[in-house]
């Protein structure tokens, strides 16, 4: 595949697909007949959101926000820049916030606070991956695809310097250049 990547995927596409089916059923059970708005965090959540929402057996509204950390580091700097909030009707809505990975927890904490401030009645999050060893703030996602060790992973939406997002499986980066 690429010399910078692990020789085999950490999590393969088949495993992702079956986990998503389980998550979709759990999420549907959480909302029952209530409406909810799915908000994906760009760019990392785009593939996960597309597959997860297509596993729902009902129609949902979908919107995106762009969350980025200031600075060029591959890891979160902790200061989150949020774009696009003014374009979405948040007030009075139950929100399902989708992200690729929960790392320090700073992104989801910041976005949750912003959505609550904008009048959301409930903000629930769903992440594909969670790295508990890396948490720096007390945040937990209600729905988690896979718990992983402290490894830097790419593929299935996740990038390293904007590369590898399109890979269908999740790989570990061996060399962080």
Catalytic residues: 103
List 31, 46, 56, 152, residue binding ligand IMP (CB under 6 A): 152
Which segment (25-33, 89-97, 103-111, 117-125) binds ligand IMP by CB under 6 A?
A: 103-111
- 9 touches Mg ion (CB under 5 A): no
Q: Of these partners, Mg ion, ligand IMP, none, which one is at the site of residue 130 (CB under 5 to 8 Å by kind)?
A: none
- 157 touches Mg ion (CB under 5 A): no
User: Over the range 99-133, which residues count as b (16 or more CB within 10 Å of their CB) and which as e?
Assistant: bbbbbbbbbbbbbbebbeebebeebbbbbbbbbee
Q: Helices 13-31 and 46-54, interaxial angle, to 10°? A: 60
Query: Given the DSSP bridges, would you call strands 153-154 and 171-172 parallel, antiparallel or unpaired?
Result: antiparallel
- 105 touches Mg ion (CB under 5 A): no
The alpha carbons of the chain give a radius of gyration, in whole angstroms, of 16
| Interface contacts to ligand IMP, rule CB under 6 A | 44, 75-76, 99-107, 152-154, 158-159
| Interface contacts to Mg ion, rule CB under 5 A | 44
């Amino acid at each position: 595949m690429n010399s910078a990547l692990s020789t085999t995927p950490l999590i393969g596409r088949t495993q992702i697909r079956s986990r998503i089916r389980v998550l979709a059923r759990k999420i549907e059970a959480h909302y029952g007949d209530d409406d909810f708005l799915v908000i994906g965090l760009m760019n990392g959540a785009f593939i996960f959101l597309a597959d997860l929402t297509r596993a729902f057996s009902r129609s949902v509204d979908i919107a995106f926000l762009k969350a980025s950390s200031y600075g060029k580091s591959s890891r979160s700097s902790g200061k989150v820049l949020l774009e696009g909030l003014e374009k979405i009707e948040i007030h009075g809505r139950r929100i399902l916030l989708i992200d690729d990975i929960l790392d320090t927890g700073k992104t989801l904490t910041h976005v949750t606070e912003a959505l609550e401030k904008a009048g959301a009645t409930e903000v629930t999050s769903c992440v594909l991956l969670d790295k508990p060893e890396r948490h720096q703030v007390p945040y937990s996602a209600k729905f988690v695809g896979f718990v992983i060790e402290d490894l830097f992973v790419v593929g299935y939406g996740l990038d390293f310097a904007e590369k590898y997002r399109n890979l269908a499986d999740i790989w570990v980066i061996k060399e962080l250049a």
